[in-house]
Amino acid sequence: MNRCPADFQSSRNAPCPTTKRASAHTGSLTEKVRLLQTLLDAIPSPVFYKNPDGVYIACNKAFAETVLGLPGEKIIGHTLFDLSQKIPGDLAAVYHSADQELLKTPGLQSYEAQVKCADGFRRTFLFHKKTYTDENGNVSGIGGVMLDLSDQKRALAALQENEAALSQIVMGNSIPTFVIDAEHVITHWNKACENLTGRPASEVIGTRWHWSAFYPEERPLLADMIVDRAAPEAISNFYKGHSRPSVLINGAYEADGFFPDIGKAGRWLFFTAAPLTDADGQITGAIETLQDFTDYRSAQERLHESERRYRLVTDQAADGVCVIQNNHFVFLNMTFVKMFGYEAPVELSKTPIANLIESNHRPAFEKLIQDFRDGSIQEKEVQALCIRQDGTPFWVESHNSFIKWEGEPAVLATVRDITERKTREMAIQEEAHNLKTENIRLKSTIKDRYGLGRLIGKSGAMQVIYDHILKAAASVSNVVVYGESGTGKELVARTIHDLSDRGNRDLIAVNCGAIPESLFESEFFGHKKGAFTGAVMDKSGYLESADGSTLFLDEVGEMPLNIQVKLLRAVENKGFVPLGSTRFVPIDIRIIAATNRDLKEMIMEGKMREDFFYRIHVLPLQVPPLRDRMEDLPLLICHFLNTLDRSAEEDVTVLPEHVIKTMTRYHWPGNVRELLNAIHRYHTFKSLDFLDICRDPEPAGETETAFHRNMTLREAMAQYEKQLIINTLARHQDNRTRTAAELGIERRSLQRKLKKFGITPVR
């Protein structure tokens, strides 16, 4: 019988020392126990020793902390039942039952058991337990070690599961599939293989089967070659005369071949074979699948025949036909090829598509292809300028549609040479432009105009400005409009824009004097989200908004020097980069600037860059002040009166003669804007602010006023007639019958004159 370890027994039963010698002996024994515990803790597997009553005398760290989840000193001197509140619930019962069996038949005991450990997981352990006896042969303790089999069990289960899965995949697969081992013996042969070859599994499994049953020559399986690690050249020789096999990942192969003895007329088979390896990467067999693609092969041949017939038809078509897929030509008819100056489709198919299109038209073509790729088709008919092989340009019109080509999206384009038609259209457009220019020129020769656009006036000074406006509208050059405040510089700019080729777009007006200096760059060039603090979203600037139109810079003299530099560069480069972006934004803008300051003097003062000045100061226009065109005053007064609010109780359509005469004697330092404000104030308060300063010394009843002196006879008579009707209506309290009687005319005649002069009586 085995003896109980003396050190454990001695350390547990040693009497308390009472002498110095006994103390020394005890210290030596304690040191041995400590060394023994250190050795036990170094063992990775759980180890323990307990007396027959189940009281633990010793254990290592793996047993205490991993299995029970307690420090070692909390376990020594206790049974598992003592610790049942602190350890996993079933440990005490499991260990006690096994210990009782071992005590009945002392010796060595080995068994497997699942134990719920301290981490909450169940693990499978192999227990090796052994009883120890004292000098009298009685059992003094039980020692044991626990070997963790959990990982091995999981690996074995996974292996069994994989084997079952492989068998299920092979045998349940609808595609013919078989497996061979390292000795080339077939281990699996599914039902689909039986149906394809007519060979039952019972006849094939366990044999070294070859294709010789269906092929006149002795040839192995593709799987055999993979197991033998055959070189690609050897596999190619096996399939000589058929499509060359392709090497796939992990040493797998695919190939096809025709087998005349399978089926009534032979079958085309497609093979895929891959190696099976163990954990060390050694080949343990191979799996091979067979696919019957005879019908697909026949359909492919019919498709090729149909394509040949289609090519014969399209080659005779008058229009060019092409199919574009992934920016490459996949089909070209001869008309298309010869249209671009090539002899054979293969020559053109190697040429990048972008090289066939003139550089300015490439972005539109690339956008078209991208729209088709994204499914957002915008234009199905496109005109573009293309380049032949010899470099000569010609115009084409392409009718495009989205199709599927061999299962992938593609663009089918029918292309026609429209160079002759396009030349005629361009000639017509040029002639129309010339006619428009000539029309503007003829308009500029018309004298005595009463207005142009929203400008009012017939004076000689205004006739000059009208002439300059028409000539500026016919030009594409930048313009600077000079004039005092209130003269209508913005109206001049808008008239130039409206009469120009850009008049179909909105004028983008910018008041440079109203923009804080820190915001100039962002306002003009825009910014991307996050470009600076506060830029919470993308914003387009004035330049991008004015693309294709006119940018009106009011008070251009207030623009900072650094913005002048950047704006000059943007105009010269025909584009800019927004703040926080790397994308170049192309622009096409015309600048009309306005100022009441002397820009040349500002250059001398260093407040304006000379290069910026010469960029915008191409066509200067000087708007005359109102004091230099006083003959336009009656027209302006009449125009402004007609724009007044008609909802007022007392409608004013004509000013009294003494008011008009007073206005003609005024200097008007605020120009037309001041005149408009004065008329609004008179309409509201029935008085002029400057009457005390410029009171008319002549009696109010004088008939020959400056107003009449500046009018033709016909105009003066019409004005007098209108005023007479108004005064007569007022005397008779808008009674039309009595008014007509006093004027000596019929009521119907009075009604026509009221309508003619825009007079609306109350009743």
What is the residue type of 230? Answer: A
Handedness of CA 322, 324, 327, 329 (dihedral sign): negative
What DSSP string runs through 332-353? Answer: E-HHHHHHTT-SSHHHHHTS-G
Per residue in 258-309, pLDDT (tens digit) is 666 666 566 777 778 888 887 777 888 888 888 777 777 776 676 666 666 6
Alpha-carbon separation of residue 709 from 449, 485, 699, 701 (angstroms): 19, 29, 17, 15
Q: How big is the CA angle at 410 (ends 407 and 415), to the nearest 5 degrees?
A: 140
User: Is 518 in contact with 471 (CB distance < 8 Å)?
Assistant: no
Per residue in 670-710, pLDDT (tens digit) is 899 888 888 888 887 777 765 333 334 444 344 444 445 55
- In the block, which residue shows the tokens 């399939």? 239
Q: pLDDT band for 406, please (50, 70, 90 cuts).
A: confident
Q: How many other β-carbons are positioned within 10 Å of the β-carbon of residue 303?
A: 11
Q: pLDDT band for 237, please (50, 70, 90 cuts).
A: low
Please choose, from the candidates 633, 641, 594, 625, the residue with its C-alpha nearest in 3D space to the C-alpha of residue 491. Answer: 594
Instruction: Report pTM.
Output: 0.40
Per residue in 626-650, pLDDT (tens digit) is 988 988 888 898 888 888 765 555 5
Q: How would you list the strands of the sheet with 590-595, edge to edge?
A: 508-511, 550-554, 590-595, 479-482, 619-622
Q: pLDDT band for 9, please (50, 70, 90 cuts).
A: very low
Structure tokens at 187: 């281990």
Q: pLDDT band for 27, please (50, 70, 90 cuts).
A: low
Q: How many other β-carbons are positioned within 10 Å of the β-carbon of residue 179?
A: 22
Most distant CA pair in the chain: distance in Å?
162
User: Is 62 in contact with 48 (CB distance < 8 Å)?
Assistant: no
Calculate the CA dihedral of residues 539, 541, 544, 548 and round it to 10 degrees.
130
Q: pLDDT band for 618, please (50, 70, 90 cuts).
A: very high
What is the residue type of 307? Answer: E
What letter would DSSP give residue 316? T
CA distance 659 to 638: 13
Q: How many other β-carbons are positioned within 10 Å of the β-carbon of residue 273?
A: 26
Higher-pLDDT residue of 172 and 532 is 532
CA distance 356 to 339: 11
Burial of 94 (0-12, 13-18, 19+ CB in 10 A): middle
Does residue 333 surpass a pLDDT of 90? no
CA distance 459 to 468: 14
Higher-pLDDT residue of 434 and 670 is 670
Q: pLDDT band for 529, please (50, 70, 90 cuts).
A: confident
What DSSP string runs through 441-461? Answer: HHHHH--S-SEETTEE--SHH
- Per-residue pLDDT, averaged over 24-35, amounts to 71
Burial of 133 (0-12, 13-18, 19+ CB in 10 A): middle
CA distance 209 to 625: 110
Per residue in 414-429, pLDDT (tens digit) is 899 999 888 888 888 8
Alpha-carbon separation of residue 91 from 51, 72, 81 (angstroms): 17, 16, 9
CA distance 277 to 273: 13
Alpha helices in 291-418 (DSSP H): 294-315, 334-339, 345-349, 362-374
Q: Which of the given ranges, 203-207, 214-218, 375-379, 602-606, has the highest pLDDT on average?
A: 602-606
- In the block, which residue shows the tokens 């909802």? 647
What letter would DSSP give residue 70? S
CA distance 80 to 89: 10
Please choose, from the candidates 544, 542, 562, the residue with its C-alpha nearest in 3D space to the C-alpha of residue 609. Answer: 562
What is the residue type of 77? Answer: G
- In the block, which residue shows the tokens 């207005």? 451
- Three-class DSSP category at 518: helix
Backbone angles phi, psi at 229, to 5 degrees: 55, 45
CB-based contacts of 146: which residues, under 8 Å, 6+ apart?
A: 45, 46, 47, 63, 67, 115, 125, 126, 127, 128
Q: Which of the given ranges, 123-132, 546-555, 580-589, has the highest pLDDT on average?
A: 546-555
Q: pLDDT band for 10, please (50, 70, 90 cuts).
A: very low
Please choose, from the candidates 543, 551, 553, the residue with its C-alpha nearest in 3D space to the C-alpha of residue 586. Answer: 543
What letter would DSSP give residue 651? -
Q: How many CA atoms lie within 13 A of 758 on its CB side?
A: 12
- Per-residue pLDDT, averaged over 123-136, amounts to 87
Per residue in 65-83, pLDDT (tens digit) is 888 888 888 888 888 888 8
Q: pLDDT band for 552, please (50, 70, 90 cuts).
A: very high
Backbone angles phi, psi at 246, to 5 degrees: -110, 140
Please choose, from the candidates 279, 234, 267, the residue with its C-alpha nearest in 3D space to the C-alpha of residue 253. Answer: 234
CA distance 573 to 567: 10
Handedness of CA 591, 597, 599, 602 (dihedral sign): negative
Per residue in 443-498, pLDDT (tens digit) is 555 544 678 888 988 888 888 899 899 999 988 999 999 999 889 999 999 999 99
- In the block, which residue shows the tokens 């096999």? 245
Burial of 757 (0-12, 13-18, 19+ CB in 10 A): middle
Q: Are strands 122-133 and 108-116 parallel, antiparallel or unpaired?
A: antiparallel
Please choose, from the candidates 144, 152, 153, 126, the residue with its C-alpha nearest in 3D space to the C-alpha of residue 43. Answer: 144
Q: How big is the CA angle at 96 (ends 93 and 100), to the nearest 5 degrees?
A: 140
What is the residue type of 236? Answer: S
pLDDT of residue 18: 47
Per residue in 705-740, pLDDT (tens digit) is 444 555 677 777 888 888 888 878 877 767 888 888
Does residue 413 surpass a pLDDT of 90? no
CA distance 467 to 232: 87
Q: How big is the CA angle at 123 (ends 119 and 127), to the nearest 5 degrees?
A: 120
- In the block, which residue shows the tokens 């009294």? 656
CA distance 710 to 733: 32
- Three-class DSSP category at 146: strand
Handedness of CA 37, 41, 42, 47 (dihedral sign): positive
pLDDT of residue 492: 95
Report the 3 state secondary structure along 209-273: CCHHHCCCCCCCCHHHHHHCCCCHHHHHHHCCCCCCCEECHHHCEEEEEEECCCCCCCEEEEEEE
Please choose, from the candidates 625, 545, 628, 524, the residue with its C-alpha nearest in 3D space to the C-alpha of residue 589. Answer: 545
Backbone angles phi, psi at 382, to 5 degrees: -135, 140
User: Is 337 in contact with 358 (CB distance < 8 Å)?
Assistant: no
Q: How many other β-carbons are positioned within 10 Å of the β-carbon of residue 625?
A: 19
User: Is 343 in contact with 337 (CB distance < 8 Å)?
Assistant: yes
Per residue in 355-389, pLDDT (tens digit) is 888 888 888 777 777 777 676 665 567 888 999 98
What DSSP string runs through 551-620? Answer: EEEETGGGS-HHHHHHHHHHHHHTEE--BT----EE---EEEEEESS-HHHHHHTTSS-HHHHHHHTTEE
First-residue to last-residue Cα distance in the chain: 141
Please choose, from the candidates 555, 543, 563, the residue with its C-alpha nearest in 3D space to the C-alpha of residue 513. Answer: 555
Give Cα 446 to chain centroid, integer Å: 55
Per the prediction, the chain carries an average pLDDT of: 79
User: Is 179 in contact with 187 (CB distance < 8 Å)?
Assistant: yes
pLDDT of residue 690: 57
CA distance 109 to 731: 138
